[in-house]
Homo-oligomer: A and B are copies of this chain.
Amino acid sequence: MSIAEVHSYRAQAARGTLVVIGGREDRSEELLILREVASRLHGGRLAIVTVASTQGDELYAEYQGAFGKLGVEVVQLPIDRREDALDPAKCKVLEGAGGVFFTGGDQIRITSELGGTPACDMIYDLHQRGGVIAGTSAGASVLGQVMPVSGAQDDSARVRDQLRLVPGLGFVRDVIIDQHFAQRGRLGRIIGAVAQNPLILGIGIDEDTALVFDEYNAFTVVGSGAATVADGRGVTYTNINEADSDHIMSVFDLRLHVLSAGDVFDMRARRPALSRQHVSEPDEPQKSAASGREGPSNGARAS
């Protein structure tokens, strides 16, 4: 599937939901975030994709235990290399699946081994048909349109440390998703990505925190941390395009939202809101535009 096809695919309203997790979600106690995944699985098994990790079997066993407590039957997608992803027999587990869960590891392993394969097409198709797609850590970043690839120093504002972006699987359009956000001090990396093309919205998700996307392209924050949204549309100046990548980044007038559990973000209007009911529906474009100008849609609580 080419990038253009991914766009046209995404332009259709996918019926499935997405659960995008910032890493290190609780897998043994309350299972708050995994419960969100389970509740969106309307029949069928949950296919665990461990290709990102070199400890795939151990990770699979851990999720098998956690989802087992929630009454969810899981199956490991037996794909470790690209030749597996091209083998119809190995993709068969996706046929009866009701959802897919991408584990952590190295995000570029997911896209390089899975991107553009029949296995990947089956996952898009599953999402179209209403399946839930979830991912944590590296598995979260691949859900965006582009994804950051680890530089040596996450915290750096040096331009050359910002530039490693790779196309993601595109389940969420016009977005770059970073994870372990507060824990690894990744503000510089997300701002650098946004400054390169402010069309792209940057979202940094803390550990044990998730974005639950509904079918209208709005997400609700769940979990014990925050989600930070960096909107560069209003940026008035950046030096990120200068040839010398050894300089330090300048970005003026970035808009930042820090969202906590229960907060909602409307991706189409690019506006935060205090609850789902204040997000515009697709057939209400004017309400959406208005909320974009006037701050959070819940006027009563806005200061």
B182 near A238: Cβ-Cβ < 8 Å: no
- B-facing mask of A32-46, CB < 8 A → 1, else 0? 000000000000000
A191 within 8 A of B: yes
A260 near B237: Cβ-Cβ < 8 Å: no
Q: With a CB–CB cut-off of 8 A, which chain B residues contact A167?
A: none
Given contacts A156-B182, A254-B258, A258-B254, contact A224 B248 (CB under 8 A): yes
A185 within 8 A of B: yes
Q: With a CB–CB cut-off of 8 A, which chain B residues contact A237?
A: 272, 274, 295-296, 298, 301-303
Q: Taking the nearest CB of chain B, how far is it from the CB of A253, in angstroms? A: 6
Interface residue ranges of A56-111 to B (CB < 8 Å): none
Query: Which of B249, B253, B254 lies in contact with A295, CB distance below 8 A?
Result: B253
A281 within 8 A of B: no
Please measure, in the bound complex, the distance between the C-alpha atom of A239 and the C-alpha atom of B226, giving whole angstroms.
Answer: 13
A260 near B248: Cβ-Cβ < 8 Å: yes
Q: With a CB–CB cut-off of 8 A, which chain B residues contact A188?
A: 182, 226, 258
Q: Taking the nearest CB of chain B, how far is it from the CB of A13, in angstroms? A: 27
Q: With a CB–CB cut-off of 8 A, which chain B residues contact A253?
A: 255, 257, 272, 295
B252 near A272: Cβ-Cβ < 8 Å: yes
Q: Taking the nearest CB of chain B, how far is it from the CB of A237, in angstroms? A: 5
Q: With a CB–CB cut-off of 8 A, which chain B residues contact A259?
A: 250, 252
Q: In the complex, which of the residues A252, A257, A301 has the most CB atoms of chain B within 10 Å of its own CB atom? A: A252
A226 near B157: Cβ-Cβ < 8 Å: yes
B258 near A249: Cβ-Cβ < 8 Å: yes
A155 within 8 A of B: yes
A206 within 8 A of B: yes
Please measure, in the bound complex, the distance between the C-alpha atom of A272 and the C-alpha atom of B249, giving whole angstroms.
Answer: 14
Please measure, in the bound complex, the distance between the C-alpha atom of A259 and the C-alpha atom of B259, giving whole angstroms.
Answer: 24
Q: With a CB–CB cut-off of 8 A, which chain B residues contact A184?
A: 185
Determine the residue in chain B with the shortest Cβ distance to A294.
Answer: B236
Q: Taking the nearest CB of chain B, how far is it from the CB of A223, in angstroms? A: 9
Q: With a CB–CB cut-off of 8 A, which chain B residues contact A228?
A: 187
Determine the residue in chain B with the shortest Cβ distance to A226.
Answer: B157
B239 near A250: Cβ-Cβ < 8 Å: no
A289 within 8 A of B: no
Q: With a CB–CB cut-off of 8 A, which chain B residues contact A157?
A: 182, 206, 225-226, 258, 260
Q: With a CB–CB cut-off of 8 A, which chain B residues contact A296?
A: 236-237, 252
Interface residues, chain A, with chain B CB atoms under 8 Å away: 155-157, 182-185, 187-188, 191, 206, 224-226, 228, 230, 235-239, 247-261, 263, 272, 274, 295-296, 298, 301-303
Q: Can you name 15 extra interface pairs (CB under 8 A) apart from A155-B183, A236-B296?
A: A157-B225, A157-B226, A157-B258, A191-B256, A191-B258, A230-B256, A237-B298, A237-B303, A239-B260, A247-B261, A251-B257, A252-B259, A253-B257, A255-B256, A256-B256
